[in-house]
Structure 1
Amino acid sequence: MQLDIESVSVDINGARLVRDIDLTVPAGRVVGLVGPNGSGKSTLLRCVYRALRPAAGTVRLDGEDLHALDARAGARRVAALPQESTPEFDFTVAEVVGMGRLPHQRGSALGRPSAKDTEVCRDALDRAGAGHLADRAFLTLSGGERQRVLIARAFAQQPRVLVLDEPTNHLDIAHQLEMLTLVREWRRPDTGHPVTVLTALHDLNLAAQYCDRLYVIRRGCIVASGPPDEVLTSDLLADVFGVRAHRVRHPETGALRLLFDRLPADAAVPVPARHE
């Protein structure tokens, strides 16, 4: 399922935080949104998982207006892992993951897991490396354990589009790599098709490693887009992030890696070209 963000602007408390964004995530691909703190990444993602409605523009899934769908239909198509997503009550891990099945339940069966629901949730927990936590109280878990449980909940939802806002928060480096590999390789059990992923990432090396395409956002506007190797130039990183970046290659894979220094206060910062 292709995700298209068309001329989207977002206003909050009278301030325009996102301005005229155009962005495409082809079906089955992983697209990353990168930018400084406060640039509008989370605000834009909230429009995609329908926590916010755009002031202008449209979010489309295979051409269909996402915000025109009812809540259940939307939740069957899009699952999200926001930055802060903690249940208010002390559910067990199994109950938290089971919430991902609610969009698939109907009528009097609402909230009553079927055998299929139980199987899907168990598989999602196992894939996220959290099967052993099923009977634990969610609020007793560490930050990293909670993150794995929440991604399992998103997998249990069996969406066509997965929206992730800083999914590696609270994870150590091994689990960061494991989490993003899992997301990139995950296939919907019912179709075998890869899920379409839009994710915001702070770590530019992880973004370069796991994303097919990047969009760079600054002050609510897209300033560059394209494959990571083309977008993450030293000039752009100096201009957008205010750092001096050294581009190097992984000794085994040849993939792009970035090393960072503070940019000298008197350094001239070039204006990067817009990438399309």
Structure 2
Amino acid sequence: MQITAPAPILYLPENLWFLFNRPGRELIIKVLGIEGKTLNLELGGEKFQARIAGAINPEDFKVGENIKVKVLQTGNPVVLQVISGEKISSDLKILYLISQVGKREGEQKFHVKEELNLLSTLLTDLFVKKDKKTKSLEEGIKELLGDKVKSSALVYQEDKLFIPFLFNDERSWGYVELGPPQERKGKVKLFYLKFYGEYLGLVECFISYDEREILLELYFYNQEAYELAKKEYKNLKDLFILNQIQFIIKLYLEESLPGYILEKQV
């Protein structure tokens, strides 16, 4: 059963969240107050609120009474079915709850996906050939990295060129390493990109090729980002359609070690 919650959604205390994470569980909750379609409730000494929905009205409740509910649906929102009361009906009597824990988890996932799209766009921009002629080296870098980059610079070191950059959100950053082609895992390494996002965490990208294909390897150091990237694999792949060239994308989850983000990859 899929039920859509009405707005607004009100919060459940974090320390009660575990009580509502199993469908079918029955609980006894005390009604402390009634404010329109909102019930003020108490469970285990913790106060919270719920929204009334379904075939149920505020008049069906009394201040001070204990009501029996069953967890009908977990997640955001938690859906409770009222299974006590004088009136018996085949219609569902529904209460909606949501925890700030669940809210933050949803927001976290949204931001991770947003930064994953940002990284994908950056990688695409590095491959797309621009027809417009640039007037300066600075404009050329800006064009290479795309319009989502706020600032960038050039750093020369030995036989390599580094382009550190900062995105418009001023929280995501990274650098591109360009240098002579090198052999890596039986292929020729084209360039290396290190990216860090506030929510995505650290991601390392290697671009290499052989006579048959171009290979993009993405190394994630954040479990959530890695799991989401696997789900978004098709969308990632669709961004890298190159004419007459097979493009392979491989995703890896790596262990995050202290200080590793400061290391230079060779």
- Coarse TM-score class (shorter-chain normalised): under 0.3
* Structure having the higher Rg: 2
TM-score (ref. length: structure 2): 0.23
Query: Which one has the bigger helix percentage?
Result: 1
Greater length-normalized contact order (CA 8 Å, ≥ 6 residues apart): 1
